[in-house]
Amino acid sequence: MTSRAPPPTSMLWLARLGRVVVRAGRSPALWLAAPSTLLFMVFFVAPLGWMLRLSTYEAGGKGQSRFYETGTFTLAHFREILTDPYFAKLGWITVQVGVIITLVTMAVALPFAIYVYRSRGIYKRLLLLAVILPKLTNLLVLMYGVLLWLGDTGYINELLLGMHVIQQPLPLFANLAALVFGEVLIVLPYPVLMLVAAMESMDSSLEEAAQSLGAGPMRAFYETVIKLMVPALMTSTLVTLIWGFGAFVAPTILGSPDYYTIAIEVYTETLENVKWPLGAALATVYVALITVMVAGGLLIQRNAERRWEGAT
């Protein structure tokens, strides 16, 4: 009696792949999620994995690549980031700038979103167009347009000098205020559109019902609109905070070296100093911090929603 030879490895993989395809065919949801999952894996997970591996290479110049030494492994770049006071200061500045940008942006976005929600007809469409307008142009063009207004020879200083209100140009750029103004201009459309969409999805009759039961206009609006949009408010705040922590264009053009963020340092180490492993390590630490922040924000949001459901 002769024994049958085992099938080749390639045939086993094909058989497993066939079983996966058959199972997926029984679940349409998997096919619907496949394109986004593929994009996520190819354009996010794979580059993130390569960045993590790159951060563990030694500095290059002697091997196959002048950017990193292939076939090596070291955690020295992470050690440098975690022990060097320069990077600690850089992280603190990034946090400060991100928090300030978030506070200013949300302070403008919430009342403006309410104003847009209360508006009607063509005026409301024009307001929404004004919100979207900054996103229809290149960010560099937008920031240089702001610089034309705030520069030493910009329109504002030229006007004030021409009216003899001031004797020398005001320092309107290369400072924290200009940086925050530019970044708010970039980020503001996102929370405004998210909040307007959340309010538009609510039943407007609830507010009228609250007023018919004796609540004043402000109390009715708070109880039937503001409370119901807390999840959207928290999500838009989190999105704004991520943008604030990743500020790059506005600090580069409108800020000064005193307010440079981690994003700028990653660019500097990678492309100017040609220290790819150190830049990758810094980017990895930044992504880890953002991940922790997002996870914490989502956890707080879920707990708040549970308490809200329990109270109602």
- CA–CA separation, 148 and 228 (whole Å): 41
- Of 138, 113, 117, 144, whose CA–CA distance to 240 is shortest? 113
The answer to whether the beta carbons of residues 30 and 24 sit under 8 Å apart is: yes
Region of residue 155 (left: phi > 0; alpha: psi -120 to 50; beta: else): alpha
For the domain with range 76-311, which CATH number is right: 3.30.2320.50, 1.25.50.10, 1.10.3720.10, 2.40.30.10? 1.10.3720.10
CA atoms within 13 A on the CB side of 294: 12
Kindly state the average pLDDT of the residues 182-190: 93
Give the dihedral of Cα atoms 267, 269, 270, 276; nearest 10 deg. Answer: -150
What per-residue confidence (pLDDT) applies to 27? Answer: 66
- Of 187, 184, 197, whose CA–CA distance to 231 is shortest? 197
In 151-297, DSSP assigns E strands to none
Summarised one tens digit per residue, pLDDT across range 222-259 is 777 777 788 888 889 999 999 999 999 999 999 888 89
What per-residue confidence (pLDDT) applies to 6? Answer: 56
What per-residue confidence (pLDDT) applies to 127? Answer: 92
State yes or no: pLDDT of 7 exceeds 60: no
- CA–CA separation, 280 and 290 (whole Å): 15
- Of 265, 269, 271, 274, whose CA–CA distance to 91 is shortest? 265
Q: Where are the domains of the chain?
A: 76-311
Summarised one tens digit per residue, pLDDT across range 112-122 is 998 998 888 89
What per-residue confidence (pLDDT) applies to 310? Answer: 63
What per-residue confidence (pLDDT) applies to 153? Answer: 85
What per-residue confidence (pLDDT) applies to 64? Answer: 55
Summarised one tens digit per residue, pLDDT across range 38-70 is 888 888 889 999 999 999 998 875 655 678 888
Q: What is the DSSP letter of 188?
A: T
State yes or no: pLDDT of 135 exceeds 80: yes
State yes or no: pLDDT of 202 exceeds 90: no
Kindly state the average pLDDT of the residues 188-209: 85
What per-residue confidence (pLDDT) applies to 227? Answer: 78
Task: Give 216 or 193, the one with higher predicted confidence.
Answer: 193
- Of 233, 206, 232, whose CA–CA distance to 220 is shortest? 206
What per-residue confidence (pLDDT) applies to 26? Answer: 65
Residue 103, Cβ neighbours under 10 Å: how many? 15
- CA–CA separation, 213 and 259 (whole Å): 52
Locate 262 and state its tokens.
């981690």
* Span of 15-19, 43-47, 172-176 with lowest mean pLDDT: 15-19
What per-residue confidence (pLDDT) applies to 84? Answer: 92
